[in-house]
Structure 1
Amino acid sequence: MTKSILRSLAVLGLSLLLGLGQPLAARAAPYLEVVAKDGTTVSLDKAQFAALPRTTIVTETPWTEGDSRFSGVLLRDLLAALKLPVSAVAARALNDYEATIPASDIEGYDVLIADQLNGKAMSVREKGPLWIIYPLSAHAELRSSDTEAKMVWQLLRLTLQ
Structure 2
Amino acid sequence: MIRIFTVLAAAISLTACGGNPDFAEGGDIVTIHGQIGTVDRGPLNAELEPLFRAYGIEFDAACVMPFASLADMEQRTIRVAYPQGSETRSFSGPLLRDVLSIAEPQGGTLTVTALDGYQRDIPLSMVMEHDVILAIRMEGDALNIGGFGPAMIVWPRDTDEALADTDDSDWVWGVFSIEVRN
Range of TM-score over shorter length: 0.7 to 0.9
2:70 paired residue number: 49
Partner AA of 2:32 in structure 1? V
SS in 2 for 1:31: strand
The CA deviation string for residues 89-148 of structure 1, in whole angstroms up to 9 with x for no partner, is: 111000111001112211221111101011111222321121111112123443233xx1
Query: What residue number does 2:29 align with?
Result: 31
Instruction: Please list every run of 5 or more consecutive structure 2 residues that lacks an aligned counterpart in the other structure.
Output: 1-9, 19-24, 37-58
The corresponding residue for 2:100 is 79
2:178 alignment partner in structure 1: 158
Alpha-carbon offset, residue 70 of structure 1: 0.8
Among all aligned residue pairs of Structure 1 and Structure 2, give the percentage whose two residues are the same amino acid: 23
What CA distance in whole angstroms lies between the structure 2 residues aligned with 1:158 and 1:78? 11
Q: Classify the secondary structure of the residue corresponding to 1:50.
A: helix
Give the match for residue 79 of structure 2.
Answer: 58
The Cα shift of 1:86 comes to 6.9
Q: 1:144 aligns with which of 145, 166, 169?
A: 166
Matched, 1:94 2:115: yes
RMSD in angstroms over aligned alpha carbons? Answer: 2.6
Question: Which residue identity is paired with 2:169?
Answer: A
| Pairwise CA distance, 1:53 | 2.4
Amino acid in structure 2 at the alignment position of 1:151: W
| In 1, Cα distance between equivalents of 2:141 and 2:162 | 29
Residues 22-41 of structure 1, C-alpha deviation per residue, up to 9 Å, x if partnerless? Answer: x9948954211000316531
Residues 113-128 of structure 1: pairs in structure 2 closer than 5 A: 113-128=134-149
1:99-114 to 2 correspondence within 5 Å? 99-114=120-135
Structure 1 residues 108 and 50 mapped into 2: Cα distance closer, same or farther (>3 Å)? same
The one-letter code matched in structure 2 to 1:152 is V
Distance 1:64 1:131, change over 3 A: farther
Cα distance in 2 between the residues matched to 1:138 and 1:124:
28
Higher-Rg structure is: 1
Structure with greater helix percent: 1
Q: Determine if contact 1:122/1:128 at 8 Å carries over to the other structure.
A: yes
Unaligned runs of 5+ in 1: 1-22
TM-score by length of 2: 0.65
Distance 2:72 2:126 in 1: 24
